[in-house]
Amino acid sequence: MRPGPFVGRASAVVLFGIAFGYVEAAVVVDLRVALGLAPGPVFPLAQVTGLTGRLVTIEIGRELATIGMLVAVGWAVGLSRLERLAWTAVAFGAWDLAYYAWLWVFIGWPPSPTSWDILFLIPVPWVAPVWAPAAVALALVGFGLTAARRLRAGQILRPARWHLAAGVGGGALVVLSFVLGAGRVVDGGIPQDYPWPVFLAGMALAGLAALDLLRRSATPTTLRGA
C-alpha cells in the first residue's frame, strides 16, 4: 500500500479532531462568559447547576451529540468494523487533547495537569485530574493510528476473546476511576484523592490486550502459509 492514502485519511481525521476541539473549547468559554462564571474549575457542582438550571439537560444532549459525531467520522473513513473503531479512537483522542490545548490558549486553563475537571455527565459526573483523560486520549490516538494503518495495508487483526474481555474490563476500570467520586461531587463537595491505582490497572489491562493484538497482526499470505 502506498503511504499517501493512509496519510491523507489520518491527516483529515486528526484535523477534524483539532477543529472540533476548538469548537468545543470556544463554546465552553462563551457559555461561561454569558453566564457570568469565572474561568476555571466548576466546583462545587451544585452552585453551577443552580445557575444554569435546565442547561444541564442541554449539556447532556450535547455530550451525546459529540460522541455521535466522533463515531460518524470513524464510520465514514473506515472500511471494516475494526478500522471504523480505530478511526473513531483517533478522532476521539485528537478531539480531547485539542479541547484542553485550546482551553489553555483561550483562558490559561488548565494551569496544571493535576487540575480537576468534569469529563462527562452521563449518567453521573465523571471527575478526574486532566492528566488522566489526556493519557487515555494519547493511547487512543496511538493505538488507533497503528491499527488503522495496518488494516489499510491489508493486514488482518483477529481479536481473541481475551483481547475483547481485557479491553472491555480495562475500559470499565478506567471509567470506574472517573465515577467513584461522583457522589461527593453531586452533593456539592470538591474532588479530593483520585483513585489512580484503579486507573493505571485499567490502562495496563487494555494496553496489554491492544499491544498483543497488534503484535499478532498478519498479512493474508502469512496466514495462508501458516
Q: Over the stretch 104-118, which tens digit does the pLDDT of each residue have?
A: 999 899 999 999 998
- Per-residue model confidence (pLDDT) at position 114: 94
3-state secondary structure 135-180: HHHHHHHHHHHHHHHHHHCCCECCCCHHHHHHHHHHHHHHHHHHHC
Radius of gyration (Cα) for the chain, nearest Å? 19
- Per-residue model confidence (pLDDT) at position 226: 39
Task: Please report which confidence band the pLDDT of residue 54 belongs to, taking 50, 70 and 90 as the band edges.
Answer: low
- Per-residue model confidence (pLDDT) at position 101: 97
214-222: long-range contacts at Cβ-Cβ below 8 A with a sequence spacing of 24 or more?
214/143, 214/146, 214/147, 214/150, 214/157, 216/157, 216/158, 217/150, 217/155, 217/156, 217/157, 218/155, 218/156, 219/154, 219/155, 219/156, 220/154, 220/156
Q: What is the mean pLDDT of residues 94-100?
A: 97
Neighbouring residues of 172: CB distance < 8 A, sequence distance ≥ 6: 202
Q: Letter for the amino acid at 182? A: A
Q: Over pLDDT 90: what percentage of the chain?
A: 63
Residue pair 115/41 in contact (Cβ under 8 Å)? The answer is yes
How far CA 211 is from CA of 85, 90, 199, 206, 215, in Å, comes to 16, 16, 18, 9, 6
Q: In angstroms, rounded to a whole number, what is the distance separating the alpha carbons of residues 103 and 163?
A: 35
In the chain, the number of structural domains is 1
What is the SS3 assignment for 83? Answer: helix
Mean pLDDT for all residues in the chain: 87
Residue 64 domain boundaries: 3-225
Q: In angstroms, rounded to a whole number, what is the distance separating the alpha carbons of residues 195 and 181?
A: 9
- Per-residue model confidence (pLDDT) at position 2: 46
